[in-house]
Amino acid sequence: MNATTASATGAPATSLQDIIAHAKEYGFVFPSSEIYDGLQAVYDYGQNGVELKNNLKTVWWKAMTQLHDEVVGIDAAIFMHPLTWKASGHVDSFNDPMIDNRDSKKRYRADQLLEGKAEAYANAGDEARAQALLNEMGRLLGENDLDGVRNLIIAEGIKCPISGTDNWTEVRQFNLMFSTQVGSVAEDASTIYLRPETAQGIFVNFLNVQKTGRMKVPFGIAQIGKAFRNEIVARQFTFRMREFEQMEMQYFVRPGTEMEWYNSWKQTRLAFHKAVGLPAEKLKYHDHEKLAHYANAAVDIEYQFPFGFREIEGIHSRTDFDLKAHQDLSKKKQQYFDNDIDPATGKPYGNYIPYVVETSVGADRLFLAVFCNAFTKETVGEGEQQKERTYLKLHPALAPVKAAVFPLVRKDGLPEKAEQIVKALRSEFRVIMEERDAIGKRYTRQDLIGTPFCIAVDYQTLEDDTVTIRHRNTMEQERVPISELKAKIGYAVSMERILEQL
């Protein structure tokens, strides 16, 4: 799909290449180990990227735990007992079907080739054909009929975009988990996995948290942490990485009430994405056509990236699949005693394995969505003065730097005055000093990293203790007393502003 994000002013659409270039040039995201030509689908966050990403993680954490008395957090290890992944189904079925083109030697996900064809039918107005193709693919994959999948690719006339041929290998299932060895010598070393999702660390701690926290159903456990998947086709920048971060919450509920909670979390999570600044028209729900083995309902929240609408968060009603599987394999009861009275029987609900509603968002995908959305190119000024302006329209609470203080010149006591302002503000929010270059250049530099406020210190400041604040989005300037800066900027950049919308 082609780039689709046009800026508010009708400037040319933003491409993913613009985003990648900007992220790299201004210290947000670098390719991993770049001096060795990088490592595919692995990225490092730079000095500004880490601040933006940390802010997103903090606001998610607060939205989940601080705003919900009944949701608590944990931080489980990446390594887990290997049986965890047997119970969860990942050892046997966390696979993607892959296919290679013999001429180009390129590897593809067989399901994505077929989905691409279905999308082409749908774009050409033939919804029925698109749906029939998706159904047939679902049937074949459900039956693990990999020859059937290959035949379907050939019957649909799907060619490798590089070689232009349909000289396809057979389709093979490829497990996405990374494995490694624990133990010092080969004989007693055993295989363990890098977790492919954070959820299982929550499930195996369900009773620890429930008992020590005296939690009553419904309650949730939230976690932020790394996950690893050996993705077959890893492209689109931080959208699909091999090492990434998830922000997951498992909500444990009484069986039979899961749909009510599923619907409620669907709304809550959409509201979160709007509150961090993603516009309603660029967000949509996408119900899953094909449910995973553990789910009885599933929906994605999609954001319109420059390469089209794609998933940023999944909300899944996971039934009692995981806790039950862990109970069966570990032989440790994963039950909860519910002493609330069931009106139907007049007796307590008693022992049961709770059902689970999960919300799972990728920190890196959310970062990319927020970054793409903030990237703004505008034409400003009139006639001769007209010029193009690029800035990041980030929510002030998410911006890496909240305010930059500029002494007009590097003499006459102005830098010292600016330094005093920085010192007075920096315990409250991230504020930096910018002394180099002409003032216009300094504004531009801050615009490019999304700093919402610039504070200019000039000769008048020495006389009356006032400064000029320049607002990033409007470029408007106002004169304010230094004594008012903390209150004025402090609230504008606080996470409270996001949280109070939820």
> Any contact of residue 236 with ligand ATP (CB under 6 A)?
no
Report if residue 303 touches ligand ATP, rule: CB under 6 A.
no
Name which of 248 and 447 has its Cβ closer to ligand ATP.
248
Does 203 appear as a known binding residue? no
Among 76, 87, 171, 241, binds ligand ATP (CB under 6 A): 241
State which H helix or E strand residue 358 sits in: strand 355-362
Residue 100 has φ and ψ, to the nearest 5°, of -115, 150
Contact 292, 322 (CB under 8 A): no
Give least dist CB 236 to ligand ATP, A.
9
What mask of x and - would describe binding to ligand ATP in positions 147 to 186, judged by CB under 6 A? Answer: ----------------------------------------
Is there a binding annotation on residue 172? no
> Is 360 assigned to a binding site?
yes
What φ, ψ does residue 330 adopt, rounded to 5°?
-85, -15
- Dihedral sign from CA coordinates of 485, 489, 495, 498: positive
Is 104 labelled as part of a ligand binding site? no
Interatomic CA distance for residues 149 and 139, integer angstroms: 10
Binding of ligand ATP by 365 (CB under 6 A): yes
State yes or no: residue 361 binds ligand ATP (CB under 6 A): yes
AA letter at 403: A
The SS3 assignment for 226 reads strand
Instruction: Work out which of 22, 90, 117, 240 binds ligand ATP, going by CB under 6 A.
Output: 240
Residue with Cβ nearer ligand ATP (198 or 451): 198
Phi, psi angle pair for 440, to nearest 5°: -60, -40
What minimum distance in Å lies between the beta carbon of 212 and ligand ATP?
Answer: 27
Q: Which residues lie closer than 8 Å to 92 by C-beta, 6 or more apart?
A: 86
For CA atoms 492, 246, 318, 330, the dihedral sign is: negative
What is the size of the binding site for ligand ATP (CB under 6 A)?
16
Choice between 365 and 470, CB closer to ligand ATP = 365
Which residue in 49, 218, 220, 362 binds ligand ATP (CB under 6 A)? Answer: 362
302 sits near ligand ATP (criterion: CB under 6 A): no
Q: What are phi and psi of 243, to 5 degrees?
A: -125, 120
Shortest Å distance, C-beta 433 to ligand ATP: 36
Q: Between 359 and 446, name the residue whose CB sits nearer to ligand ATP.
A: 359
Q: Given the complex with ligand ATP, which of 318 and 326 has the nearer CB atom?
A: 318
Examine residue 119 and tell whether it contacts ligand ATP (CB under 6 A): no
Q: Is 229 in the site for ligand ATP (CB under 6 A)?
A: yes
Enumerate the H helices of 356-438 as residue ranges.
Answer: 363-374, 414-425
The piece of 13-21, 83-91, 118-126, 355-363 that touches ligand ATP (CB under 6 A) is 355-363
CB of 57 to ligand ATP, least distance (A): 13
Phi, psi (rounded to 5 degrees) for 453: -130, 135
Q: Which is nearer to ligand ATP, 229 or 395 (CB)?
A: 229
Residue 29 pairs in a beta bridge with 45
Stretch in the footprint of ligand ATP (CB under 6 A) among 205-213, 317-325, 354-362, 414-422 = 354-362
Give how far Cα 116 sits from Cα of 100, 101, 102, 254, Å: 16, 16, 20, 40
Which residue from 55, 317, 334, 360 is in contact with ligand ATP, where contact means CB under 6 A?
360
Cα dihedral 220, 310, 54, 232 sign: positive
Which of 51, 313, 320, 447 is the binder for ligand ATP (CB under 6 A)?
A: 313
Cβ proximity to ligand ATP, 40 vs 208, nearer residue = 40
Q: Which helix (H) or strand (E) holds 469?
A: strand 466-471
**Residue corresponding to tokens 């730097």:** 401
Q: 230 among the known binding-site residues? A: yes
Q: Mention every residue, 6+ apart, whose C-beta is less than 8 A from residue 476.
A: 470
241 annotated as ligand-binding: yes
Listed in sequence order, the residues at least 6 apart from 18 whose beta carbon sits closer than 8 Å to its beta carbon are 375
The dihedral over CA atoms of 375, 379, 381, 386, expressed in degrees to the nearest 10, equals 130
- Environment class of residue 211 by beta-carbon count within 10 Å: exposed (0-12), middle (13-18) or buried (19+)? exposed
- Binding residues (CB under 6 A) for ligand ATP: these are 197, 229, 231, 240-241, 244, 246, 311-314, 360-362, 364-365
Known binding-site positions:
109, 197, 229-231, 239-248, 311-312, 358-365
Task: Pick out the residues of the known binding site for substrate.
Answer: 109, 197, 244-248, 358-362
